[in-house]
Chain A
């Protein structure tokens, strides 16, 4: 049973427009959420994160929104650029402390930004 779900396997957007990638989770113990970006033949790269005590975190063109009641988060990229074309993974952690620090990943969404 997937605890982190990315229901859109792919998304295509025009350059300069907004890209919105969605992620849902089922485990109410998750309290930290991250987005990773992955190019082919490379490992995932950390992009942006958000703690459950916040509902928004912004870093340049990237903003992550968290709706705890809906167990939903989204990543907004504005404006989208062709170099943003990659697979985006949503990940979550039940920080809790101690040694239980591991991330549960979604299946990923392939974003294609067309020039």
Chain B
């Protein structure tokens, strides 16, 4: 299995809702990432987990709450989002530490989130 699976593919939520984005990989990767990408912008790093521990939080607002229940799963819990949070949320995984010919992320297809 060489894929990163993200669900749902599309999500519309109100500003008072609570929802979760899910990401799963079975490549034995020990680093997992959440990126946010807005239209015509590059992907921007939100969180990094290495060995199921949060290692990087790029000053993301607390309305985004990541969780890594095990080495294959990564969740992003959403609560009280704003319309400007509408974006494509990308999950990725990689070997950790990186190196060799497999240096690089494997991305999921993303969740297109719309906050209304």
Contacts and interface: CB of A to CB of B under 8 A. Distances in A.
A99 B55 contact: yes
Nearest to B47: A102
Interface string A25-63: 000000010101000011111100100000000000000
B48 A102 contact: yes
Q: How large is the interface on B (under 10, 10 to 19, 20 to 34, 35 or more residues)?
A: 20 to 34
B66 interface: no
B104 interface: yes
A106 B42 contact: yes
Nearest to B102: A46
Given A95-B98, A101-B98, A108-B42, A46 B33 contact: no
A66 to B, nearest CB: 15
Interface stretch (B13-21, B67-75, B76-84, B105-113): B105-113
A102 B41 CA distance: 17
B17 to A, nearest CB: 24
B41 A46 contact: no
List the 7 shortest-distance A-B pairs measured between CB atoms, nearest first.
Answer: A43-B107, A105-B42, A99-B55, A46-B104, A43-B109, A44-B107, A102-B45
Given A43-B107, A43-B108, A105-B44, 13 more contacts: A32-B98, A34-B104, A43-B92, A43-B110, A44-B90, A44-B105, A95-B98, A99-B48, A101-B31, A101-B97, A102-B48, A102-B56, A108-B42
23 contacts: A4-B42, A32-B98, A34-B104, A41-B109, A43-B107, A43-B108, A46-B104, A46-B105, A49-B103, A49-B104, A89-B42, A93-B98, A97-B97, A99-B50, A100-B56, A101-B96, A102-B45, A102-B56, A103-B105, A104-B45, A105-B42, A106-B42, A107-B40
